[in-house]
Structure 1
């Protein structure tokens, strides 16, 4: 851009430009081998600096593409990048293979070019690209090598995290191994590591999971009563003729659950969790305490409580039979909100809405007490391991149906 190099968003420019470079390099070299082309394009790229410091590999990749150098490079290097991973999956040593395809002997000088280290998370655990002046400890088994024509030599590269950084903020350290040949070729191989644990890092925003009714957008607080329309279909979740209309009950078409991801997650669930379970047996009346935060099962009782008068809401099944319960990673539920589970969810707000309907068509949740439990799988976590799920819960609320 105007003879310089800038950092802007979007692969819509970089993608087709690099594709064109690959086509030219493939034509010049007479091969469409993707591994070879990727290797020469990356190793001949030129790392860029800002304010006298190399920009992180996580931001610029290999650097500024140099098509002519890639088309005529005689030194081939594998692998094309060195990934040292996070502290849970740290790779101790990676071996570089340097192949001299020229007809003459070559001597190479190897060195480390460290880039700016970035914190992926800020002090408040929100997304923050803050740079710090800290370098990984990179060790090379050889700093000078001589390679005969059409021969190769290996060099071991090891790395240790920079000192004095906060691992909970996920410091991303990076740089390049510079390989300068006696013929004037200047090649670089990018490396990248993370000085923290992705598996144990916060994924879900700790502010929790909120729910509101639609279309009013009114927040649903602890032990609110939500009244859904009694749906059409073969299954009627609750005859509504026996249902009173307590003051403050929320009548909505659906309820929406919302929460935020601080980091991406490989898998996100929103389970519908019943709070009152029962085995097979006769239906029990459902009792809601008007104006209060208590919802309980049992026979209706006249009188008042500390929270307000007891109001009979429905004489339908007010607990969830265990026959429709499933359990996954320690959470018992009657299903998930429509659209869930979600795979590879990105940073930002997620939401889902519920009308009382279950996964099976025209099947609806029995009247009773429920909550939503949103769970995000930790990055690199095992979905079968309960400890690898991070959880936020909604307030408990009661569900009934109108005619």
Structure 2
């Protein structure tokens, strides 16, 4: 697939050799030291680690938009050194104010010592800004985050459902321990404030209070969409998207027939996404800071994007805010389960967030229809929880279908395999009828258009996949007829009923249901297939815990139908946020300060969770990198007299495994005795044998070869502590598979005895998840060899000239018009405005895994030793740090580095134009996993073969 590249064409000349890659080889750490000396590799916990001795002795790093995945066009972060004073700040603001190409977007002086700016046209103005304002440490693009998307959209219903007694399974509170906390502890979130950073909230919804502001359920919030520096965010937090309102209902909806997890909690709505998709991470961070300032006890963020590095800006800000406040951040893991392992989303990868995976709900809820019970063959569906006079058929799509019209089939048979059903002009008489059409072979738009053209009043799509539950119809055009969708089993039932009544021509009568129905979810209690897989890029375990997120009933904006069933980790995250609210309410005041910390809450939740099985292909537990500690059980979290820490054992890889120390604290009044054993979960193989990403990682049995446990039975005195030492050995799998193995240390309580020797009920079982890699992560390639390193023009076409072929028939000569002459740039790397910023040359490659450090430089056409080959300098913009791996997500399918013909000199002090009329090669150097910047052998290098 060719990259889609659009930029202003530049008349630039370059003659280089095509990059036929060799196998990974050594590189010289000293060779790239000059390129890296001006980069401060940020520590996980230190947002401002670049302070200097004296005044601003460090060089300034400017990262261009072209070298940064998901960059927000024209917007940049400007970070300042710690020694930056108010006088320096005044100078900076004056320079920006007097320059027509610059504008401050958002200020973060007190919290981050940074601002975000907007650049009108030429990014070269950034160089001028650096020269005019000493003390700038870093300039890098604002990252564009896409509006949250649900994995599946389903049953929309109207408000009339609320005025009836909904079936009891519209929530999952009884399987998560929330129902017991409500009924036995009387906790509903009263006095707890939950902030929701999302698309806004429809505060007019009756279940969400019906108003906004003081005294309302939605009492706090602000709209940050398109707000600029100096402008006060508006109070218009109205949701025009639907996502934020659904999230809010999961947390705190409060109606006589439907309640969220914490229905008495107060909400804060922080709108960062408008009606159009996408927003900058500066806006998101602005909302995060405001939510903390407003005193939100819990902050839910069902959003994110490609990442995997704890060092990313949003993740580091969460670390900073968590250290300096009492707010607890809860994050969605992501919906990229189809893209393989190592897909921990940013900012959910933060070590200071509770990151949540999704499990399928027990039941589906939605509107339904039946066939006329008087018809022959009409029967009750066995899958319906509450028996009715006829089979209830739940549907997705619009509700206002005219059910006075008869249903006819478009094609005969019940196999679900009819080819091209509805894909061509319809010749049979369907005028004035509802038409049943199978899914597949062409688009929903084409099928709907053909039914409409034939005079049908509505179309019902039936799935073509057996054992399906539901699906959402996606139409890109506007049609006058209505549409719905049903699963294959219900579709075949309709076909059988039509045939049994000889009604192929006249059709059968349908009856709309009186209200929402509830049916058993076929994938009930299994992990959702869409939930993203961890771990992060440094083998730390993510996600942390699981909550119901698949097919979740909740509120949506009034204008959109008021209630709907949606799916995604976006739905699982607010469930945990609501659980945190209940836990905080149950541990009030300063006397419980220790219990109210992030560490205490996450540990309590993870210890008490219950591991879940896979949905298919493996009979045991799902991998820890899919579910974390398992399904939340809030009741157990409240009633567990012991704490086991750390809450997760990150075993690292074979080369870095160390003895694990599990600490058990008894907070109760009775002695506790636990049996210690190991329960394995599914192992995952993240890569194919050719070292390409396995987007559906094979599930394998990967039991630890051995685990040496210091004591199999451990007794902990009241108020006391004990430690169990465990030494793991990886499973007996091929270390070149780099299998991710995982499981749980299970602490099973023995019958507890009271002080008078009478038997007491045992406390809950504790689970502590573990995850590790069999094999050395250091050996897993960073570079994607299957794609290679390519040089293309702005249309994505390789720059080649086939008339010149080198003697090895591998090298291809690349040609462009000549480079314009201009003087070398000095000023100690500060640079100047360049006429070459709009490139027509692009270096394109892919990353198999995330890259901590990436350097691309231009080298001589000859020489076989990568450490000795002559370098003409690092490409301008050719240095990046903490880069996510490429995958199938929009904007992340490849790394695209625009190049203007300039390189950084080998000493790192100047940018120079490369000489004209010469041959060159390129070299890409990537720091290996857990690599040391000082060691040659810790870099993998790809170099074109010598001529």
Q: TM-score, normalised by structure 1?
A: 0.74
CA deviation digits over 1:60-83, x for unaligned, max 9?
111111222223321111221212
Task: Show the counterpart of 1:264.
Answer: 850
SS at match of 2:777: coil
Q: Which moved more, 1:78-87 or 1:189-198?
A: 78-87
When residues 190 and 219 of structure 1 are mapped into structure 2, their CA distance, relative to the original with a 3 A threshold, is same
Alignment pair present for 1:149 and 2:732? no
Q: Which residue of 1 aligns with 2:927?
A: 377
Q: Does 1:227 align with 2:795?
A: no
CA drift at 1:338: 4.1
Mapped contact 2:876–2:902 kept (Cα < 8 A): no
The offset of 1:126, in angstroms, is 1.3
In the alignment of these two chains, the number of paired residues is: 330
Aligned partner of 1:41 in structure 2 is: 605
- Alpha carbons of 1:276 and 1:100: their partners in 2 closer, same or farther (altered >3 Å)? closer
* Distance apart, 1:225 and its partner CA: 5.2
Contact 1:177 1:188 in 2 (8 A): yes
Shift of 1:172: 1.2
Change (3 A) 1:361 1:152: closer
SS of the equivalent of 2:775 reads coil
**Is 1:353 the counterpart of 2:923 in the alignment?**
no
How many angstroms apart in 1 are the aligned matches of 2:656 and 2:862?
A: 42
Given that residues 337 and 352 in structure 1 are in contact (C-alpha distance below 8 angstroms), is that contact kept between their aligned partners in structure 2?
A: no
How far the C-alpha of 1:24 sits from its partner, in A, is: 2.3
More strand by share: 1
| Cα offsets for 1:99-121 (capped at 9, x unmatched) | 11111122212221111111121
Contact 1:228–1:253 (8 Å) recurs in 2:
no
Unmatched runs of 5 consecutive residues or more in structure 1: 237-251, 278-327, 398-403
CA distance in 2, matches of 1:54, 1:216: 45
Aligned ranges 1:2-401 → 2 under 5 Å: 2-3=361-362, 4-5=524-525, 6-7=527-528, 8-9=530-531, 11-29=569-587, 30-31=592-593, 32-50=596-614, 51-91=618-658, 93-128=659-694, 129-136=697-704, 137-163=706-732, 165-181=733-749, 182=751, 183-207=762-786, 208-215=788-795, 217-220=797-800, 222=811, 224=813, 226-228=815-817, 230-231=819-820, 234=823, 254-275=840-861, 332-348=870-886, 349-359=894-904, 363-367=912-916, 368-394=918-944
Separation of aligned partners in 1, 2:576 and 2:711 = 33
CA contact (8 A) 2:684 2:700 kept: yes
d(CA) in 1 for partners of 2:638 and 2:575?
A: 15
CA distance in 2, matches of 1:148, 1:385: 49
| Contact 2:639–2:763 (8 Å) recurs in 1 | no
Measured in 2, the distance between the counterparts of 1:386 and 1:90 equals: 24
What value does the CA root-mean-square deviation take over the aligned residues?
2.9
Instruction: Give the TM-score of the pair, scaled to structure 2.
Output: 0.33
Describe the shift of the 1:272–1:47 C-alpha distance in structure 2 as closer, same or farther (beyond 3 A).
same
CA distance in 2, matches of 1:84, 1:145: 22
Q: Is the 8 A contact 1:211 1:255 kept in 2?
A: yes
Measured against aligned partners, the alpha-carbon deviations of 1:125-182 in whole angstroms (never above 9, x if no partner) come to 111211112300223222222222111222111211111x111120111110111223
Q: Are the equivalent residues in 2 in contact too, given 1:141–1:155 (CA < 8 A)?
A: yes
Deviation at 1:377, TM superposition (A): 1.4
Cα deviation 1:189-235 (Å, max 9, x = unaligned):
01112111011222222243222234572443636252345448556
SS in 2 for 1:35: helix
SS of residue in 2 equivalent to 1:339:
strand
- State the 1:378 CA deviation: 1.0
**Which segment is superposed worse, 19-28 or 365-374?**
19-28
Distance in structure 1 (CA, Å) of the matches to 2:608 and 2:912: 61
- Matched with 1:243 is none
Q: 1:90 to 1:255 in 2, by over 3 A?
A: same
C-alpha distance in structure 1 between counterparts of 2:868 and 2:572, whole Å: 45
Residues 242-271 of structure 1 show CA distances to partners (whole Å, capped at 9, x for unaligned) of: xxxxxxxxxx96322222222222111111
Ranges in structure 2 where 5+ consecutive residues have no aligned partner: 1-359, 363-523, 533-568, 752-761, 802-810, 826-837, 887-893
- Helix, strand or coil for the counterpart of 2:744? strand
> CA separation in 1, counterparts of 2:674 and 2:795?
69
- CA separation in 1, counterparts of 2:857 and 2:735? 32
1:26–1:71 Cα contact (<8 Å) kept: no
Instruction: Answer yes or no: is the 8 Å Cα contact 1:224–1:396 preserved in 2.
Output: no
Q: Distance in 2 between matches of 1:110 and 1:216?
A: 58
Secondary structure at 2:670 match in 1: coil
Matched position secondary structure for 2:721:
strand
